[in-house]
Amino acid sequence: AKLQRTPFEDRAKLCKNAVGVALFSLMARKKTNLCVAADVVEAKALLDLADAVGPQICVLKTHCDIVRDWTDETGTQLRFLADKHDFLIFEDRKFADIGNTVVQQCSGGVHRIASWAHFTNAHALPGDGIVDGLRTAAGVENHGLLLLAQMSSAGNLLNKEYTSACVEMAKRHTDFVFGFISQERVIEGSEGDAFVYMTPGVKLSQEGDGLGQQYNTPTAVIADRNSDIIIVGRGIYKSDNPAATAAIYRKQAWDALA
Protein backbone atom coordinates (compact mmCIF):
# COMPACT_ATOMS: atom_id res chain seq x y z
CA ALA A 1 0.00 0.00 0.00
CA LYS A 2 1.14 3.53 -0.81
CA LEU A 3 2.24 5.65 2.13
CA GLN A 4 -0.15 8.34 3.26
CA ARG A 5 1.98 11.47 3.38
CA THR A 6 1.21 14.64 5.29
CA PRO A 7 1.58 17.57 2.84
CA PHE A 8 4.68 19.71 3.42
CA GLU A 9 2.53 22.82 4.03
CA ASP A 10 0.88 21.01 6.97
CA ARG A 11 4.22 19.82 8.30
CA ALA A 12 5.39 23.45 8.33
CA LYS A 13 2.74 24.06 11.01
CA LEU A 14 4.02 21.18 13.16
CA CYS A 15 7.69 22.20 13.07
CA LYS A 16 8.95 24.36 15.94
CA ASN A 17 12.07 25.81 14.34
CA ALA A 18 11.81 28.82 12.00
CA VAL A 19 14.23 27.41 9.41
CA GLY A 20 12.34 24.11 9.37
CA VAL A 21 9.08 25.99 8.87
CA ALA A 22 10.69 27.98 6.04
CA LEU A 23 12.01 24.80 4.42
CA PHE A 24 8.68 22.93 4.47
CA SER A 25 6.91 26.04 3.15
CA LEU A 26 9.41 26.52 0.36
CA MET A 27 9.20 22.85 -0.69
CA ALA A 28 5.41 23.14 -0.92
CA ARG A 29 5.59 26.46 -2.81
CA LYS A 30 8.40 25.58 -5.22
CA LYS A 31 7.47 21.89 -5.54
CA THR A 32 10.95 20.50 -5.11
CA ASN A 33 12.56 18.08 -2.68
CA LEU A 34 16.00 18.14 -4.30
CA CYS A 35 19.15 19.22 -2.46
CA VAL A 36 22.33 19.58 -4.50
CA ALA A 37 25.62 18.81 -2.76
CA ALA A 38 27.83 21.49 -4.33
CA ASP A 39 31.16 19.80 -3.66
CA VAL A 40 33.30 21.94 -5.96
CA VAL A 41 36.60 23.45 -4.89
CA GLU A 42 36.63 27.01 -6.24
CA ALA A 43 34.37 29.87 -5.18
CA LYS A 44 33.43 30.83 -8.75
CA ALA A 45 32.53 27.22 -9.61
CA LEU A 46 30.40 27.04 -6.45
CA LEU A 47 28.52 30.25 -7.28
CA ASP A 48 28.07 29.25 -10.95
CA LEU A 49 26.72 25.84 -9.89
CA ALA A 50 24.37 27.44 -7.34
CA ASP A 51 23.06 29.83 -10.01
CA ALA A 52 22.60 27.00 -12.54
CA VAL A 53 20.77 24.52 -10.27
CA GLY A 54 19.10 27.19 -8.11
CA PRO A 55 15.72 27.02 -9.91
CA GLN A 56 15.49 23.25 -9.28
CA ILE A 57 16.40 22.95 -5.59
CA CYS A 58 15.03 23.52 -2.11
CA VAL A 59 18.48 23.35 -0.48
CA LEU A 60 22.07 23.96 -1.59
CA LYS A 61 24.48 21.91 0.52
CA THR A 62 28.00 23.24 0.90
CA HIS A 63 31.36 22.05 2.24
CA CYS A 64 32.96 25.48 2.67
CA ASP A 65 36.25 23.93 3.85
CA ILE A 66 36.93 22.31 0.46
CA VAL A 67 36.77 25.69 -1.35
CA ARG A 68 40.36 26.80 -1.77
CA ASP A 69 39.61 30.52 -2.27
CA TRP A 70 36.69 31.02 0.15
CA THR A 71 36.16 34.61 1.36
CA ASP A 72 33.37 36.43 3.22
CA GLU A 73 32.15 37.53 -0.21
CA THR A 74 31.49 33.87 -1.15
CA GLY A 75 29.03 33.58 1.70
CA THR A 76 27.43 36.92 0.81
CA GLN A 77 27.04 35.87 -2.84
CA LEU A 78 25.56 32.50 -1.86
CA ARG A 79 22.95 34.31 0.22
CA PHE A 80 22.18 36.58 -2.75
CA LEU A 81 21.61 33.50 -4.95
CA ALA A 82 19.49 31.85 -2.23
CA ASP A 83 17.18 34.90 -2.31
CA LYS A 84 17.23 35.07 -6.11
CA HIS A 85 16.22 31.42 -6.61
CA ASP A 86 14.37 30.72 -3.34
CA PHE A 87 16.50 28.02 -1.71
CA LEU A 88 18.15 27.53 1.70
CA ILE A 89 21.87 27.05 2.34
CA PHE A 90 22.97 24.05 4.38
CA GLU A 91 26.63 23.95 5.47
CA ASP A 92 27.40 20.24 5.89
CA ARG A 93 30.02 20.84 8.58
CA LYS A 94 29.23 17.72 10.64
CA PHE A 95 30.30 19.32 13.92
CA ALA A 96 31.49 16.73 16.43
CA ASP A 97 33.20 18.55 19.33
CA ILE A 98 32.26 19.85 22.79
CA GLY A 99 29.84 22.78 23.07
CA ASN A 100 32.46 25.42 23.78
CA THR A 101 34.54 24.47 20.75
CA VAL A 102 31.65 24.31 18.29
CA VAL A 103 30.56 27.82 19.31
CA GLN A 104 33.86 29.09 17.86
CA GLN A 105 33.84 26.70 14.88
CA CYS A 106 30.33 27.75 13.84
CA SER A 107 30.53 31.50 14.36
CA GLY A 108 34.25 32.21 13.86
CA GLY A 109 37.31 31.13 11.94
CA VAL A 110 37.80 31.88 8.26
CA HIS A 111 34.34 30.67 7.30
CA ARG A 112 32.00 32.32 9.84
CA ILE A 113 29.38 29.70 8.97
CA ALA A 114 26.62 31.17 11.12
CA SER A 115 26.77 34.42 9.13
CA TRP A 116 25.67 32.88 5.80
CA ALA A 117 24.34 29.31 6.26
CA HIS A 118 20.64 28.92 7.12
CA PHE A 119 21.39 25.64 8.87
CA THR A 120 24.14 23.15 9.55
CA ASN A 121 24.47 19.65 11.00
CA ALA A 122 26.17 17.81 13.83
CA HIS A 123 27.02 14.37 15.12
CA ALA A 124 25.20 13.56 18.36
CA LEU A 125 28.29 11.75 19.68
CA PRO A 126 29.47 14.44 22.18
CA GLY A 127 26.04 14.72 23.84
CA ASP A 128 23.53 17.57 24.25
CA GLY A 129 26.27 20.18 24.75
CA ILE A 130 26.96 20.19 21.02
CA VAL A 131 23.37 21.27 20.34
CA ASP A 132 23.51 23.92 23.07
CA GLY A 133 26.83 25.23 21.71
CA LEU A 134 25.54 25.50 18.16
CA ARG A 135 22.34 27.15 19.37
CA THR A 136 24.49 29.74 21.15
CA ALA A 137 26.64 30.29 18.05
CA ALA A 138 23.73 30.68 15.70
CA GLY A 139 20.89 32.19 17.71
CA VAL A 140 17.61 30.28 17.47
CA GLU A 141 15.79 32.96 15.52
CA ASN A 142 17.04 32.26 12.03
CA HIS A 143 19.12 29.13 12.26
CA GLY A 144 18.51 25.44 12.62
CA LEU A 145 20.33 22.15 13.02
CA LEU A 146 20.09 18.61 11.64
CA LEU A 147 21.50 15.60 13.50
CA LEU A 148 23.28 12.80 11.65
CA ALA A 149 21.17 9.79 12.62
CA GLN A 150 22.40 7.42 9.90
CA MET A 151 25.14 7.53 7.24
CA SER A 152 25.40 6.24 3.69
CA SER A 153 28.94 4.90 3.85
CA ALA A 154 29.86 1.23 4.09
CA GLY A 155 30.80 0.03 7.57
CA ASN A 156 29.66 3.19 9.37
CA LEU A 157 29.25 2.86 13.14
CA LEU A 158 25.83 4.52 13.43
CA ASN A 159 23.82 1.47 14.50
CA LYS A 160 20.15 1.24 15.50
CA GLU A 161 20.79 2.12 19.13
CA TYR A 162 22.79 5.19 18.11
CA THR A 163 20.04 6.27 15.70
CA SER A 164 17.45 6.00 18.51
CA ALA A 165 19.64 8.09 20.81
CA CYS A 166 19.87 10.77 18.07
CA VAL A 167 16.11 10.77 17.74
CA GLU A 168 15.73 11.27 21.49
CA MET A 169 18.26 14.10 21.41
CA ALA A 170 16.35 15.84 18.61
CA LYS A 171 13.11 15.56 20.58
CA ARG A 172 14.77 17.36 23.50
CA HIS A 173 15.68 20.33 21.25
CA THR A 174 12.77 20.92 18.89
CA ASP A 175 13.29 24.70 19.04
CA PHE A 176 16.56 24.24 17.16
CA VAL A 177 16.86 20.69 15.76
CA PHE A 178 14.35 20.33 12.92
CA GLY A 179 15.47 17.15 11.22
CA PHE A 180 17.97 14.47 10.36
CA ILE A 181 20.50 13.28 7.87
CA SER A 182 19.35 9.70 7.56
CA GLN A 183 18.82 6.90 5.08
CA GLU A 184 15.10 6.68 5.83
CA ARG A 185 12.40 8.36 7.87
CA VAL A 186 13.50 7.70 11.46
CA ILE A 187 10.38 8.90 13.38
CA GLU A 188 6.98 7.58 12.33
CA GLY A 189 3.58 9.18 12.75
CA SER A 190 2.57 12.77 13.42
CA GLU A 191 5.46 13.26 15.85
CA GLY A 192 7.80 12.48 12.96
CA ASP A 193 5.97 14.89 10.67
CA ALA A 194 7.48 17.78 12.66
CA PHE A 195 10.99 16.83 11.43
CA VAL A 196 12.57 16.73 7.96
CA TYR A 197 14.60 13.75 6.66
CA MET A 198 17.38 14.43 4.17
CA THR A 199 19.10 11.49 2.49
CA PRO A 200 22.51 11.45 0.78
CA GLY A 201 23.94 8.61 -1.28
CA VAL A 202 21.60 9.17 -4.24
CA LYS A 203 22.47 8.56 -7.87
CA LEU A 204 20.63 7.26 -10.92
CA SER A 205 23.44 4.81 -11.66
CA GLN A 206 24.20 2.97 -8.49
CA GLU A 207 27.77 1.69 -8.58
CA GLY A 208 29.80 3.03 -5.63
CA ASP A 209 32.84 5.33 -5.77
CA GLY A 210 35.55 2.97 -4.53
CA LEU A 211 35.68 4.92 -1.24
CA GLY A 212 32.71 3.41 0.54
CA GLN A 213 29.88 5.57 -0.75
CA GLN A 214 26.68 3.53 -1.34
CA TYR A 215 23.96 4.80 -3.69
CA ASN A 216 20.20 4.42 -3.98
CA THR A 217 17.83 5.89 -6.59
CA PRO A 218 15.64 8.94 -5.90
CA THR A 219 12.53 6.74 -6.09
CA ALA A 220 13.87 4.19 -3.59
CA VAL A 221 14.79 6.92 -1.09
CA ILE A 222 11.51 8.85 -1.29
CA ALA A 223 8.90 6.18 -2.06
CA ASP A 224 10.35 3.13 -0.30
CA ARG A 225 12.22 4.67 2.63
CA ASN A 226 9.83 7.56 3.16
CA SER A 227 12.56 10.19 3.30
CA ASP A 228 11.70 13.79 2.31
CA ILE A 229 14.69 15.24 0.48
CA ILE A 230 17.32 13.64 -1.75
CA ILE A 231 20.88 14.96 -1.57
CA VAL A 232 22.73 14.57 -4.89
CA GLY A 233 26.35 15.55 -5.48
CA ARG A 234 28.41 13.91 -8.21
CA GLY A 235 25.30 12.65 -10.02
CA ILE A 236 24.58 16.31 -10.82
CA TYR A 237 27.70 18.46 -10.64
CA LYS A 238 29.84 15.99 -12.60
CA SER A 239 27.26 15.65 -15.37
CA ASP A 240 27.67 17.50 -18.68
CA ASN A 241 24.72 19.79 -17.94
CA PRO A 242 24.12 20.17 -14.19
CA ALA A 243 20.99 22.34 -14.63
CA ALA A 244 19.32 19.81 -16.94
CA THR A 245 20.40 16.85 -14.82
CA ALA A 246 19.13 18.56 -11.67
CA ALA A 247 15.73 18.93 -13.38
CA ILE A 248 15.67 15.15 -14.01
CA TYR A 249 16.51 14.30 -10.37
CA ARG A 250 14.01 16.89 -9.20
CA LYS A 251 11.18 15.34 -11.20
CA GLN A 252 11.96 11.79 -10.08
CA ALA A 253 12.15 12.77 -6.42
CA TRP A 254 8.97 14.85 -6.53
CA ASP A 255 7.00 12.23 -8.49
CA ALA A 256 8.05 9.62 -5.91
CA LEU A 257 6.05 11.51 -3.24
CA ALA A 258 2.74 10.93 -5.02
Residue numbers annotated as active site: 92, 94, 97
User: Is 238 known as a binding-site position?
Assistant: no
What number of chain residues touch ligand S5P (CB under 6 A)?
16
Q: Is 160 annotated as a binding residue?
A: no
Applying CB under 6 A, does 151 fall inside the site for ligand S5P?
A: yes
Judged by DSSP in three states, 104 sits in helix
Q: Are 174 and 16 in contact (CB under 8 A)?
A: yes
In DSSP terms, which residues pair with 88 in a beta bridge? Answer: 59
In this structure, are residues 19 and 202 in contact, taking their beta carbons and an 8 Å threshold?
no
Q: Binding to ligand S5P by residue 64, rule CB under 6 A?
A: no
Tell whether residue 47 is a contact of ligand S5P (CB under 6 A).
no
Q: How far is the CB of 208 from ligand S5P (least distance, A)?
A: 9
Say whether residue 214 binds ligand S5P (CB under 6 A): no
Q: Tell me the per-residue interface mask from 91 to 130 with ligand S5P, x by CB under 6 A, - otherwise.
A: -x--------------------------------------
Q: Which of 145, 147, 232, 253 binds ligand S5P (CB under 6 A)?
A: 232
Long-range contacts of 72-79 (CB under 8 A, 24+ apart): 72/112, 72/115, 73/43, 74/43, 74/46, 74/47, 75/111, 75/112, 75/115, 75/116, 75/117, 76/116, 77/47, 78/46, 78/47, 78/50, 78/116, 79/116
The CB density around residue 173, as the number of other CB atoms within 10 Å, is: 19
206 is in an annotated binding site: no
Please state the φ and ψ torsions of residue 56, each to the nearest 5 degrees. -100, -15
Which 159-188 residues touch ligand S5P, going by CB under 6 A? 181
Q: Any contact of residue 145 with ligand S5P (CB under 6 A)? A: no
Among 213, 219, 226, 239, binds ligand S5P (CB under 6 A): 213
Binding site members for substrate: 39, 61, 152, 213, 233-234
